[in-house]
């Protein structure tokens, strides 16, 4: 997936292991870091369960440009500037866009399609 994105110069702001942020998801998000494996629980409402990130089957891409909305909160905070999904800017995941199509081509699902609490940065093999 990333070789295709690189070939067309799709901007990935930062790509470092979560360990660079002490395993803290919020720190990684605030740094606009694209990250995958992180042994953590699901963020948000519902029962406490392991995230798809804990299994290495999910990745968050450009979290500032693609924020997660949860109960009126924006993660990361700097993502507020990107809440207007109709104003497409570099690095954004949008319906029908290159990033979403690239992950869909290998069967991964996009969290931006979730109703109620869209997670625009999130792509996963499991849909969760």
Residue range 105-117, pLDDT digits in tens? 999 999 999 998 9
**How many Cβ atoms sit within 10 Å of the Cβ of residue 51?**
19
- Phi, psi dihedrals of residue 80, rounded to the nearest 5°: -55, -35
The model carries a pTM of 0.92
Residue 15's domain spans which residues? 2-124
Q: Work out the average pLDDT over 84-94.
A: 98
Query: What's the structural domain count of the chain?
Result: 1
């Amino acid at each position: 997936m990333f070789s295709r994105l690189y070939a067309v110069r799709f901007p990935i702001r930062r790509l470092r292991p979560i360990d660079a942020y002490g395993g803290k998801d919020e720190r990684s998000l605030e740094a606009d870091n694209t990250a995958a494996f992180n042994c953590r629980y699901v963020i948000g409402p519902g029962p406490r369960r392991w995230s798809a990130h804990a299994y290495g089957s999910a990745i968050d891409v450009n979290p500032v440009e693609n924020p997660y909305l949860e109960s009126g909160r924006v993660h990361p905070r700097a993502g507020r500037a990107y809440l207007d999904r109709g104003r497409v800017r570099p690095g954004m995941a949008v319906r029908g866009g290159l990033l979403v199509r690239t992950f869909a081509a290998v069967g991964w699902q996009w969290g931006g399609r979730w109703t109620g609490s869209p997670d625009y940065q999130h792509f996963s093999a499991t849909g969760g």
